[in-house]
């Protein structure tokens, strides 16, 4: 665990350059901001707005000893475990999705003692990021009281000094790096999200370094015209990359539906072959294609367009 205390986390932010500057970089340059041993917080939720393009690039950089945190972890967790990039995952739930059952890979790693899974309730994950985003060391909640989650984590209980009620305290998360995919951003890093906000705004502000990928880079004037849509302020952001379909094969609200056939195909391969099947998937979809565009070409233009049409139908 590389989490700084709230004091160190504040000092880190104070030392950062907050100037209004062009932060556009390549995916490779953005991924290079992640160092071995970092705690990387992943935006989105399950298979929604997962920053797949940048996660893929981090895997291609062959990072190791990362701690991954996310509210609900989809198969990106399996990819990082099988790649040897992480042994520590902090989440409230890990799998692929309800119809696909238990994660065979997570079972192999956790039951084999080769990975540590730290489980919190979903609200507790949200409050841990929120506490980080607030610059304070913890937040109180009524969640997790009486559960064994409270006993197996670093959560503590206290008696409320005002009312005498029992409270559960969840410690702040200060990720080293947050990776977030949004609908649009300007080159300064002002980020706008359509549809579900998930926990991205808190994750970004809690982290020391923020990598933003956006479906579209827009002029700052456009951001100013819809300032109420801005979820993450430029001063929290360190790198901006324009990546259309940057969450694919996961979904991006209103723009493209998740490729459930692909995810189901992955789930079947892994149910049959376990970790070895994930390694084969990594070769085929992560290490093989040199660029994200080449990766998208593996799905084909027709597929991408049909996922786009489906999204428009649903949200139009």
Partner 1 sequence: MPYTASELLAVTASRLLADHKIVFAGVGTPLLASALARATHAPHLTIVVEGGVIGLEVQPGRLPISTNEMRAGRRAMMLPSITQTFLYAQRGYFDYGFLGGAQVDPYGNINTTLIGPIDRPRVRLPGSGGACDIISHCREVFIVTTHERRRFVEHLDFITSPGHLAGGTSRSGAGLLFGAPTRVITDLALMSFHPETKRMRVDALQARVEAQQVRDHTGFDLEFPQAPPELPPPAGEELEILRTLDPDRIFLGS
Cis peptide before 249 (omega within 30 of 0): yes
Residue 264 C-beta: closest distance to partner 1, Å? 10
Q: Point out which span in 58-66, 79-87, 113-121, 172-180 binds partner 1 (CB under 8 A).
A: 113-121
Q: Point out which span in 17-25, 60-68, 126-134, 217-225 binds partner 1 (CB under 8 A).
A: 126-134
Spatial separation of the C-alpha atoms in residues 152 and 197, rounded to whole Å: 29
Nearest to 85 by CA among 250, 280, 282: 282
Interaction of residue 130 with partner 1, rule CB under 8 A: yes
Helix, strand, coil percentages (3-state) for the chain, rounded to 5, are 40, 20, 40
Find the helix packing angle between 104-111 and 260-281, rounded to 10°.
40
Q: Which of 121, 230 has the CB closer to partner 1?
A: 121
- Residues in the chain, how many? 316
Spatial separation of the C-alpha atoms in residues 88 and 102, rounded to whole Å: 18
In sequence order, what DSSP letters do the residues of 211-271 get, joined into one string? EEEEEEE--HHHHHHTGGGEEE-GGG-SEEEE-TTTTTTSBBTTTB---HHHHHHHHHHHH
Among positions 67, 69, 86, 103, the unique one binding partner 1 when judged by CB under 8 A:
103
Alpha helices in the chain (DSSP H): 6-14, 27-31, 52-60, 76-82, 104-111, 122-134, 148-152, 200-206, 220-225, 260-281, 292-297, 301-315
Interaction of residue 258 with partner 1, rule CB under 8 A: yes
Residue 52's φ and ψ, nearest 5 degrees, are -65, -40
Interaction of residue 245 with partner 1, rule CB under 8 A: no
Interaction of residue 71 with partner 1, rule CB under 8 A: yes
Interaction of residue 261 with partner 1, rule CB under 8 A: no
Q: Point out which span in 34-42, 181-189, 197-205, 280-288 binds partner 1 (CB under 8 A).
A: 197-205
Interaction of residue 257 with partner 1, rule CB under 8 A: yes
| Site map 22..61 versus partner 1, x via CB under 8 A | -----------------------xxxx-------------
Interaction of residue 272 with partner 1, rule CB under 8 A: no
Q: Which of 124, 180 has the CB closer to partner 1?
A: 124
Binding interface with partner 1 (CB under 8 A):
45-48, 71-72, 91-95, 97-99, 102-103, 106-107, 110-111, 113, 117, 119-124, 126-127, 129-130, 141-149, 152, 157, 165-168, 195-199, 201-202, 251, 253-254, 257-258, 260, 311, 314-315
């Amino acid at each position: 665990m590389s989490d700084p205390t709230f004091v160190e986390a504040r000092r880190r932010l104070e030392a950062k350059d907050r100037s209004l500057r062009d932060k556009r970089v390549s995916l490779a340059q953005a991924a290079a901001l992640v160092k071995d041993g970092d705690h990387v917080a992943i935006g989105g939720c399950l298979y929604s707005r997962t920053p797949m393009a940048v996660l893929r690039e981090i895997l291609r950089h062959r990072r190791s000893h990362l701690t991954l945190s996310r509210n609900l972890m989809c198969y990106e967790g399996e990819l990082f475990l099988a790649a040897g990039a992480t042994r520590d995952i902090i989440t409230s739930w890990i799998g692929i999705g309800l119809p696909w059952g238990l994660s065979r890979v997570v079972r192999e790693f956790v039951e084999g003692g080769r990975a540590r899974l730290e489980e919190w309730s979903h609200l507790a994950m949200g409050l841990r990021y929120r506490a980080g985003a607030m610059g304070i060391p913890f937040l109180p909640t009524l969640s997790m009281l009486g559960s064994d989650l409270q006993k197996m984590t670093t959560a503590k209980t206290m008696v409320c000094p005002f009312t005498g009620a029992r409270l559960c305290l969840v410690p702040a998360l200060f990720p080293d790096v947050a990776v977030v995919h949004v609908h649009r951003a300007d080159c300064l890093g002002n980020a706008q999200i359509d549809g579900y906000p998930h926990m991205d705004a808190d994750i970004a502000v809690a982290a020391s370094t923020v990598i933003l990928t956006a479906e579209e880079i827009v002029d700052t004037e456009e951001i100013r015209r819809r300032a109420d849509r801005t979820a993450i302020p430029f001063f929290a952001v360190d790198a901006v990359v324009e990546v259309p379909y940057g969450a694919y094969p996961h979904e991006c609200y209103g723009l493209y539906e998740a490729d459930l056939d692909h995810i189901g195909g992955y789930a079947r391969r892994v149910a049959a072959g376990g970790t070895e099947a994930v390694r084969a998937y990594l070769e085929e979809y992560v290490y093989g294609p040199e660029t994200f565009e080449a990766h998208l070409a593996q799905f084909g233009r027709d597929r991408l367009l049909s996922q786009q049409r489906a999204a428009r139908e649903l949200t139009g």
